[in-house]
Amino acid sequence: MVLAATRVYSSLPVVGKHLEPFAGLTAMALYGGHYAPAAVRAAISRRLNTSEAVAAPIDGEAESTRSSRMPPYLRFRAQRQRCLYRSSVRYGDHPAQLLDVWRRPDLPADAPVLLFVPGGAWVQGSRVLQGHTLLHQMVKRGWVCLTMDYRVSPVNRWPRHIADVNAAIAWARANVDRFGGDRNFVAVAGCSAGGHLAALAGLTPGDPAFRGELTDDADTTVDAVVGIYGRYDWQDRSTATRRNFQRFLERVVVGRSQSRHPEIYAAASPLARIHEDAPPFYLIHGEQDTIIPVGEARAFRDALQAVSRNPVEYCEVPRAGHAFDLVDNAHARHCATGVARFLGEVHDRKASLTAAAEVGA
């Protein structure tokens, strides 16, 4: 009844679009309580063990004293102000289909591109407050970064979310050169629900069920995928926590039961869509994640490595919980540097193969 009411008021003319975020918050409140006790216990445990070493910086990068003393919100805001090049660029016709462009003023020609998909349990997802540490790192290294909004539940049902991600990828393939990016190299990254969407987009570029309003010739392929504490299995009901998650999907995100429509959940599960031509993957997960247990990431990694012909790397962050990168801490910077290294290697490898092919021709 409550969820039905949120869908009604979110569909009202003029004011509905402003009320839509409250529908997502309502859905999270109804189902998020199941995870709260474990999350609180894990947070207290990590706080009581702060003497343990955190991940060491990679490539000699260290946090400055000034930066370490800056409140997280101000640090994020400073990163955004330094790197934001263009805000609220439309990648589609719907008001929610917006993205921001991050880049350096002195961007080198044909810079590689990273599209970032924010998380939020498929009911929230703002390009404004997520992924800043990663985006800042990539921009410093000469990349064009795009961070997107997409339509969310319960107002918008599955598969609208993945269709919007594919629309943003297609937009980048066709238009990112206007902002100095290379249309021939587009990677996608995402955290939590965004990690699910990034992985699914990377594994299913030709699936007509996920293309929405895109034309048949729109290119939705990606050159690499980064999954950050993502949800990779939409089918498992083996535990009480998993059953609660499946009920959330059924009632809030999909609007159809898994028992009657198992094909929907199989098609939306990255774990079930793995194939040998999967793009290169870099997976990151916190060891103490109580929202999406680390075992799910390990299982996805193992399945990918067993089948894919492309590189699959995995970074497990010690003592980190879910959403550990929402503040600009040592873990977030460590992971951002690892992602930058991995994507740089994938980009260099593709550039070398392209150059060799041109010489051979």
Global pTM reads: 0.85
d(CA 186, CA 239): 37
pLDDT one-digit tens code per residue, 132-170:
999 999 999 999 999 999 999 999 999 999 999 999 999
Most distant pair of Cα atoms in the chain: their distance? 65
Domain ranges of the chain: 2-360
Its CATH class, for the domain covering 2-360, is alpha beta
CA distances from 183 to 117, 126, 171, 219 (A): 18, 24, 9, 10
Per the residue annotation, which of 223, 233, 289, 328 is the catalytic one?
Answer: 289
d(CA 165, CA 149): 9
261 is catalytic: no
Average pLDDT value over all residues in the chain: 86
Helices 160-175 and 193-203, axial angle in degrees (round to 10): 60
Q: Which residues pair with 145 in a beta bridge?
A: 102, 114
Per the residue annotation, which of 192, 285, 325, 347 is the catalytic one?
Answer: 192
Tell me the CA end-to-end span of the chain in Å, nearest whole number.
64
Letter for the amino acid at 214? L
pLDDT one-digit tens code per residue, 30-75:
555 555 454 444 444 444 454 344 444 434 444 443 445 555 555 6
Percent of the chain with pLDDT over 70: 78
Per the residue annotation, which of 285, 322, 331, 334 is the catalytic one?
Answer: 322
User: Is a pLDDT exceeding 50 seen at residue 354?
Assistant: yes
d(CA 204, CA 225): 12
359: left (phi over 0), alpha (psi -120 to 50) or beta: alpha
Using DSSP's 3-state secondary structure scheme, residue 357 falls into helix
pLDDT one-digit tens code per residue, 307-333:
999 999 999 999 999 999 998 899 999
pLDDT one-digit tens code per residue, 190-242:
999 999 999 999 999 989 999 999 999 999 999 999 999 999 999 999 999 99
192 is catalytic: yes
59 is catalytic: no
Please choose, from the candidates 105, 192, 197, 88, the residue with its C-alpha nearest in 3D space to the C-alpha of residue 142.
105
